[in-house]
Amino acid sequence: MSFRNALLACVCLAAFVPAVSASAEEGLKVKASDKAACMPDAIRLCRDAIPNVRNVLTCFSQKREKISARCNTVLASYGL
């Protein structure tokens, strides 16, 4: 494979990955009680990421030690 073809393949793959992530995010069902458990932490720690769920989860992963025990329990129940 030539360098040009490899570069083109990487660009196409990079364009495809966000679409897959976004569609997976749309399928994510979060219970209202779980949202209520983590909303105070989201507002306190990740205000700029709201309402994008993926951005809030990224923020939570960066600030895991500051998240409340209640929200950490919820995140763990989702395997996060």
Structure-model confidence comparison of residues 61 and 12, the more confident one: 61
What percentage of the chain reaches a pLDDT higher than 70? 65
pLDDT at position 7, please?
36
How far apart CA 21 and CA 34 sit, in angstroms, is 21
Sole residue written with tokens 């083109």: 8
Question: Whole-model pTM above 0.75?
Answer: no
Over 50: is that where the pLDDT of 16 sits?
no
Mean pLDDT (whole number) for 29-50? 92
Query: How many alpha carbons fall within 13 Å on the CB side of residue 30?
Result: 20
Q: Mean pLDDT score of the chain, rounded to an integer?
A: 75
How far apart CA 26 and CA 73 sit, in angstroms, is 22
